[in-house]
C-alpha cells in the first residue's frame, strides 16, 4: 500500500499519526494511506511566502505562462498512469477519468496560452487608462499586482486533478505560490501530480506544495495577502469563510459549493427534433457521468405538464441501459460513488426526494456492481424522481443529492415560471434551456441569469456541437450566486484576479507607459 507524503518546505514529509486509508470505491480494496500529523504547516506557509512568492514575482507573466505549459506537458507524459489512479481511487470510468485528468492539463494549457499574450511585463494593466487633466498630462491607470502571500487550494473529492489544475493555473500566472489540499479520500491523483511536477524539476522552489490529507492548523497561519480558494460542500464553505482567523485577517476567500442545477425544456419541442435529442442526451450524460458527482450536474428537470409523461418515459428508458459496476470492467458505463459516506448520503437523499414524489426509476435499495465482489463497492442506481407539483415541497429545490439522481417537475412553459422555480434552488452554477424559439430563450436570460453563473442555450443549431451543460471551460466563468458559494473561478483572465491586488496608479502618462509598456495613454 502506498503511503502518501505531503510536499512542504521543499521536502516530502510523512505524517506520524493514525493514517486515513484511501480505497478503490469499486471494490473497497485499500490503495493508500496518509496522515498529516506532525507536518510543518507553519513552515509550509513560510516557505511559500519567503521562497515561492519572490521566485514567481521575479518572473514575467510570459515566463509564468511557460511554467504552466511545462506543467501541462509533464502531466501529459504521465497521463496513462494518472488515468489509472483516477479510475482506481475515484471510481471513475476511463472516460470520467479523462474528464478530470485532461481537464487539468487543458486548464493549465489554456492559461499558458492566455499568459503568453501578456508578454514581458510583471504587472498587468486593468482596463484602459483615463486622463485626469484637460491636457492629458496627468493620467490614471489601474494595474493588477500579485498578492504577496500564498494561495491555499482546498478541493472536493470529485475533481482531484482538474480542481488542482484550474486553481493553480490562475494563482501561478498571477505570481502567487500555492498549497494544494485535495480531499483525503481521493488524494492519490493530486499527490502523484505534485510528485510528477517535482520530479520534472520545473517548479520554482516553494511555488507548489501539497497537503495530502487533513489541513491541521494550516488555515490559522493565513494573513491579509493570502487567498483561500475552496471547493466543496456549502456547510464546509460556511465554516471556512466564517472562521474568526479568516475574518479578522481579511483573508480573500472564494467558495465554490453545492448547486441544484436546472434543465428546462420549452413547450412544444417535437420528439423527433434535434433539440429534443440534445436535451435527452444532456440529461443522460449529466446524470451518469462520474456517477452524477459533478457540481454542474443537472439535479432539477422542468418540462411542460403535457410533456412530463414522454420525457420521464424516454429518460427512464435510457437510464435502464446503464451498466453500473467496477470500472475495471470495460463493459461498465457508470462507476460507484466515491466513498462510503457518499453512498449513505445518496441513499438518504433519494429517500428524502422520494417522499416528495414518486420514484420513476432507481431508488435507494442496495445494488451489487457488475464485476465487483458481492456486497462490496459504493453503488447507486441511476434514479429519477417524478414530482407532480414543483411547489409542493422545498426538498427538491434545496437538497443536493451528489450522485446519479435528478427530479423531474412540471412548469407552465413560460420563462417567468421557470425563473421562479429555478430561483428556489437559492443560486446555482448552471441552468440549461432547450428550445428553438429565440424569444423564449431570450426570456430566460434575465430571470435565470440572476440565479446562475452560466446559462446554456440548447437548440437545433448547436445540437451537433454543444458539449453538455456540465463542462466548465477555462475561458468562461465557473461559479454561481447564493448557495453555490457566490464565487468566481476561470472566465479567462478574470480568474487570475482572485490572486491579484488592484492598484490605481496616477502620474505622468509617459512615465506610466515606460513602466508598464504599451501605448495606452498615447
Catalytic amino acids?
A: 256, 295
What Å distances lie between residue 372 and 22, 264, 268, 301, 404, CA to CA? Answer: 18, 36, 43, 32, 19
**Can you point out the beta strands (E) in 103-174?**
124-125, 130-131, 139-146, 151-154
CB of 385 to ligand NAP, least distance (A): 18
DSSP class of residue 251 equals -
Between residues 30 and 517, which has the closer beta carbon with respect to ligand NAP? 30
Between residues 35 and 207, which has the closer beta carbon with respect to ligand NAP? 35
Contact flags string 204-223 toward ligand NAP, x per CB under 6 A? ---------xxx--------
What Å distances lie between residue 513 and 120, 121, 509, CA to CA? Answer: 14, 12, 6
CB of 499 to ligand NAP, least distance (A): 17
Between residues 159 and 434, which has the closer beta carbon with respect to ligand NAP? 159
CA distance 87 to 81: 10
- Asked whether the beta carbons of 86 and 202 are under 8 A apart, the reply is no
Candidate residues 220, 236, 414, 494; the one interacting with ligand NAP per rule CB under 6 A: 236
CA distance 108 to 168: 8
Q: Dihedral of CA 111/112/114/119: which sign? A: positive
- Enumerate residues 6+ apart whose C-beta is below 8 A from 500: 124, 144, 145, 146, 147, 174
Site for ligand NAP contains 33 (CB under 6 A):
no
Site for ligand NAP contains 451 (CB under 6 A):
no
User: Nearest-CB residue to ligand NAP?
Assistant: 232
Site for ligand NAP contains 141 (CB under 6 A):
no
CB of 400 to ligand NAP, least distance (A): 6
Cell of 117: 499574450
From the list 353, 484, 452, the residue with the least C-alpha distance to 407 is 353
Rg, the chain, Cα only: 24
Site for ligand NAP contains 378 (CB under 6 A):
no
Phi and psi (nearest 5°) for 180?
-100, 135
Between residues 114 and 257, which has the closer beta carbon with respect to ligand NAP? 257
Site for ligand NAP contains 429 (CB under 6 A):
yes
Contact flags string 481-500 toward ligand NAP, x per CB under 6 A? ---xx---------------
CB of 452 to ligand NAP, least distance (A): 12
- Asked whether the beta carbons of 332 and 93 are under 8 A apart, the reply is yes
CA distance 508 to 99: 49
Site for ligand NAP contains 226 (CB under 6 A):
no
CB of 261 to ligand NAP, least distance (A): 10
Total residues interacting with ligand NAP, rule: CB under 6 A: 28
Contact flags string 281-320 toward ligand NAP, x per CB under 6 A? --------------x-------------------------
Between residues 123 and 430, which has the closer beta carbon with respect to ligand NAP? 430
* From 253-261, 390-398, 436-444, 462-470, span contacting ligand NAP (CB under 6 A): 253-261
Please report, as residue ranges, which positions from 165 to 204 form the binding site for ligand NAP (by CB under 6 A): 181, 183-185
CA distance 183 to 159: 9
Largest alpha-carbon pair distance within the chain? 81
Parallel, antiparallel, or unpaired for β 6-8 and 11-13? antiparallel
Site for ligand NAP contains 257 (CB under 6 A):
yes
Q: Which residues pair with 124 in a beta bridge?
A: 144
**Which residues of the chain form contacts with ligand NAP (CB under 6 A)?**
154-159, 181, 183-185, 213-215, 231-233, 236, 239, 256-259, 295, 400, 402, 429, 484-485
Amino acid at each position: 500500500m502506498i503511503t502518501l507524503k505531503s510536499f512542504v518546505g521543499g521536502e516530502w514529509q510523512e505524517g506520524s499519526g493514525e493514517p486515513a486509508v484511501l480505497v478503490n470505491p469499486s471494490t473497497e480494496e485499500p490503495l493508500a494511506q496518509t496522515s498529516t500529523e506532525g507536518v510543518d504547516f507553519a513552515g509550509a506557509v513560510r516557505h511559500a511566502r519567503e521562497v515561492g512568492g519572490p521566485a514567481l514575482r521575479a518572473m514575467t507573466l510570459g515566463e509564468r505562462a511557460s511554467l504552466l505549459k511545462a506543467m501541462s506537458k509533464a502531466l501529459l507524459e504521465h497521463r496513462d498512469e494518472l488515468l489509472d489512479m483516477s479510475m482506481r481511487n475515484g471510481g471513475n470510468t476511463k472516460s470520467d477519468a479523462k474528464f478530470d485528468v485532461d481537464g487539468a492539463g487543458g486548464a493549465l494549457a489554456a492559461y499558458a496560452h492566455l499568459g503568453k499574450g501578456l508578454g514581458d511585463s510583471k504587472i498587468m494593466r486593468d482596463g484602459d487608462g483615463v486622463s485626469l487633466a484637460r491636457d492629458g498630462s496627468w493620467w490614471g491607470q489601474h494595474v493588477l499586482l500579485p498578492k504577496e502571500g500564498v494561495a491555499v487550494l482546498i478541493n472536493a473529492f470529485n475533481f482531484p486533478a482538474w480542481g488542482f489544475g484550474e486553481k493553480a493555473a490562475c494563482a501561478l500566472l498571477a505570481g502567487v505560490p500555492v498549497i494544494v489540499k485535495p480531499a483525503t479520500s481521493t488524494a492519490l491523483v493530486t499527490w502523484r501530480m505534485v510528485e510528477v511536477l517535482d520530479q520534472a524539476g520545473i517548479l520554482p522552489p516553494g511555488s507548489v506544495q501539497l497537503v495530502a490529507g487533513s489541513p491541521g492548523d494550516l488555515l490559522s497561519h493565513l494573513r491579509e495577502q493570502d487567498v483561500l480558494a475552496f471547493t466543496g460542500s456549502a456547510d464546509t464553505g460556511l465554516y471556512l469563510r466564517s472562521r474568526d482567523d479568516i475574518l479578522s485577517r481579511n483573508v480573500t476567500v472564494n467558495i465554490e459549493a453545492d448547486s441544484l442545477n436546472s434543465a428546462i425544456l420549452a413547450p412544444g419541442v417535437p420528439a423527433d427534433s434535434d433539440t429534443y435529442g440534445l436535451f435527452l442526451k444532456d440529461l443522460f450524460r449529466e446524470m451518469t457521468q462520474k456517477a452524477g458527482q459533478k457540481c454542474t450536474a443537472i439535479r432539477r428537470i422542468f418540462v411542460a405538464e403535457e410533456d412530463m409523461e414522454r420525457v420521464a418515459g424516454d429518460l427512464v428508458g435510457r437510464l435502464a441501459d446503464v451498466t453500473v459496476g467496477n470500472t475495471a470492467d470495460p463493459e461498465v458505463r457508470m462507476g460507484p460513488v466515491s466513498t462510503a459516506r457518499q453512498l449513505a448520503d445518496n441513499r438518504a437523499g433519494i429517500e428524502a426526494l422520494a417522499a416528495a414524489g414518486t420514484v420513476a426509476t432507481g431508488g435507494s435499495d442496495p445494488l451489487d456492481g457488475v464485476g465487483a465482489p458481492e456486497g462490496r463497492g459504493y453503488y447507486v442506481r441511476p434514479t429519477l424522481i417524478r414530482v407532480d407539483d414543483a411547489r409542493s415541497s422545498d426538498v427538491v429545490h434545496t437538497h443536493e443529492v451528489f450522485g446519479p439522481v435528478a427530479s423531474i417537475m412540471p412548469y407552465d412553459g413560460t420563462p417567468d415560471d421557470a425563473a421562479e422555480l429555478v430561483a428556489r434552488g437559492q443560486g446555482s452554477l448552471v441552468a440549461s434551456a432547450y428550445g428553438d424559439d429565440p424569444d423564449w430563450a431570450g426570456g430566460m436570460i434575465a430571470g435565470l441569469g440572476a440565479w446562475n453563473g452560466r446559462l446554456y442555450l440548447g437548440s437545433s443549431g448547436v445540437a451537433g456541437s454543444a458539449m453538455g451543460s456540465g463542462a466548465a471551460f477555462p475561458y468562461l466563468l465557473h461559479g454561481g450566486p447564493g448557495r453555490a458559494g457566490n464565487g468566481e473561478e476561470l472566465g479567462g483572465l478574470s480568474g487570475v484576479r482572485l490572486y491579484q491586488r488592484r492598484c490605481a496608479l496616477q502620474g505622468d502618462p509617459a512615465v506610466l507607459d515606460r513602466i508598464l509598456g504599451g501605448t495606452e495613454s498615447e
